[in-house]
Structure 1
Amino acid sequence: MEQRLAAVLAADMAGYSRLMEADEAGTIARLRTHRIELIDPAIAKNKGRIIKTTGDGMLVEFQSVTDAVKCAVEVQQRMRRRNSDVPQERRIEFRIGINLGDIIFEEDDIFGDGVNIAARIEQLADVGGICVTAAVATQIADRLDVLIEDLGEKTLKNISRPVHLFRIGLEGSALPASAEEAGAKRPVAKPSIVVLPFNNMSGDPDQEFFADGLTEDIITELSRRHELFVISRNSSFVYKNQPANVREVAEKLGAQYLVEGSVRKSGERVRVTVQLIDAINDAHIWADKFDRKLDDIFAIQDEVTAAIAATLPGRVEAAQRDHLARTKPANMAAYECALAAKVLHHRATVADNKQAQSLIERAVALDPNYAHAHAWRACILGQAWVHGWCEDKDAVWAEIIAELERALALDDNDADVHRILAAVHVNNNALTTARYHQERALALNPNYDLVVVQQGELLTWLGRPEEGIDWIRKAMRLNPHHPERFWSHLGKAHFAARQYGEAIEAFMHLTAMDHVQHAFVAACYGWLGDAIAASAHADKVKALAPDFGIESFLATLHYAQETDVEHLREGLVKAGAGSPAATDVAAQ
């Protein structure tokens, strides 16, 4: 046996028996997901060690009280965000108790009064809350920026003496915020959208399930986009098989945009039509139709859902941009600031980037808990970092990392947060970490064109360009209105796959090429043996970037395989962008 002072965290799932009775398999699966994605990583990050688990709880040992409380706060705050869209009766919530005391360790288990007190005070914690002893509260009072509420002395079961307890205040908990704090936070005014049940125009009752399933899938996929507020299925299906006035529906449901559509079967084909309506102005923004052969109804449902879910957010954002351009409000809300900042970011100039930084900083100031704004501030600063539009690159990099950590802590279920984290880690050549965040983004929103195209980009860097091409083309299919830069990603992937003709064809879709794109086209012609075309593009490189050097250029890229680096180097040398001798000098 070993005895030492340690902090013990006891956690228990509230309403475990009720949830198991209602949905045993689903409850176990959701609890396992929370463990894998949130709880276990939070424990590991804060240097904790899981001693014992039960079906609905666990005991964890920490050598530091501060680490124990930080872990508990992170788990409870992030669980609240995860539960924000979950019906009350299906929520998985925990009570947590933390005590500091002498613990007996024996055969990978812990015993003693310190453990018993932790288990007892956990039962007194609020659902979703944290209860700690005086020993814990005293240690963290000057170390952590948390609210601590005195609960007084409590008598605990099978503990002879009263124990002085405290509650750790969490955002949105029963602890009231000061008037000053409450006034400092403004809600994010996201555009709201309702998807009405699609009409079955086939005259075939068997197609009713397809129309309803399509509607539900679109609602689910749009809900993954954290920049939209999507009205729930229960609210929208009230209007099933009822004539609906657009403005009345929008007013009753509080929606700015409305999606409606129909399904019509004809022989062995099915046609799905869909339209997006600005409900306030009663104006059509976008419409499309999808004709498919009726081989696999479920495959069609998935394909059409993916296309609509990928296109709609972009059409909504375009409508919002048009509205901003017309109104130019003097005091934009956080969402509007973030949207305007994105538009400027995509223009990719020094002046626009500077203005975008100002707008995104305003969005963060208006709502400090707006994860999307923190993520995009990192993205906009990252653009300045990549292009060298900042005086102190180390300081800007530190800001980028801090913003992403803040965004992740606020909402680790935002695909954009993980997408931008992946992009930043690619630029830092941390491809393993980038791959984790990219896969997380893809799992959170598999039909988000920016996430899908980035998957293709990352696979190209990892030496798997053929797979990368498939992902980039999928992104183009998902969003026919995709940004022009998708062609550049496709060209680079084809080049890495040694498909030079296809690479050149992709780059030719660009209305204008920068020196990087001209360099890839020059390398393509170099490998094809077309000296005249290669030389022409090499001259363009030198005109756009007079200080261009092969080795310094290659150092800005992120290939994991040295063979891919050598492949591009040889192509540039063949194109006359640099000689072997010049390359050696540049490398010294």
Structure 2
Amino acid sequence: TVRLLYESMEGILLVKEDIRRSSEDAATSTPDDGAAAGNVPYVERRLAAILSADVKDYSRLMGNDDVATVETLTAYREAMTKLISQHRGRVVDSPGDNLLAEFSSVVAAVQCSVGIQEELTERNADLSVDRRMEFRIGVNLGEVIIEGDRIYGDGVNIAARVQELAEGGGVCISRSVCDEISSKLSLDCESLGAHTLKNIDEPVRVYRVQVDSSARGEAPPGALSAAAGPEAELGNKPSVAVLPFANMSDDPEQEHFTDGITDDIITDLAKIRGLAVVARNSAFTYKNRAVKIPDVGRELDVRYVLEGSVRKVGDQVRITAQLVDAVAGHHLWAERYDRDLNDIFGVQDEISQKIAIALKVILTAEAEAARA
């Protein structure tokens, strides 16, 4: 009996020792990726600039002459791949008439996009109008999921949706791209406003890059070409610069809403026939700078300057705007708008349109008086 009791106690001590060692091993060992993340598998991610492209009217081209279309597509894709490589990017996939590329630099991605459109425009010049192949290009900066040589995620999806908003032979970019290149490239970007994109939760602000107007046809109204610069001759049309509205709130996140108001006003004013509007990139060089309106008028070669501010308190927003004659130095018009922020993009659209309509009336009257 004593012997059996001794053996039982010895067995219990051995079990306790095994448990102690197991606990020490667990405490000192490095957990695997799954355990470290609470059994959530490790996913590799990185920030990338994504270029998405497809052919405008591809089905029509294939229906007219599928053999010639495939030959042109193959040649154009080779030219695009070469340019992508030269800009240190890589082609991720190219099914059908689509092409997806990744860049570590957003500046390189945009430069490559413009280079592609210029190259293909030259090649199209040798083809009959009905055989010309125009690509639409969209560029986005966002986080992507890496799986081998493939990339996935909203960063890719947004690039593809932005591409759908581009014209044939054109380049559209997301807000994240525009913010990055605004101080690095001498390209003008025209705001197309905020868009609700398929399968993307939040609206995305989209911009059209002004590709060489001599190759692409007449630039949109009010847009200055990159080559012309901010002091380009605006002709005899009434000319206006919309300075970035000042964020009077304590919340730095309000900058996006404030910049959005400015973008929408520029876009709506640019649609007015007979009115020359300084492009966004030129106007935004004055952001967060204390400037004198006459100096702005001389530097941008404009007669009128619109400035304003945005103040947000809770769910209420107050937007003020003033139109100043940069030559005479006096105010032509001023207004204040108080709104509830139940629909932030609805407020942006409403205010920008009201300001554009008011300015259209004032500036048209000023122009007619000057001609009289």
More helix by share: 1
Instruction: Flag the structure with more relative contact order, 1 or 2, with Cα contacts below 8 A and sequence separation at least 6.
Output: 2
TM-score computed with the length of structure 1 as normaliser: 0.30
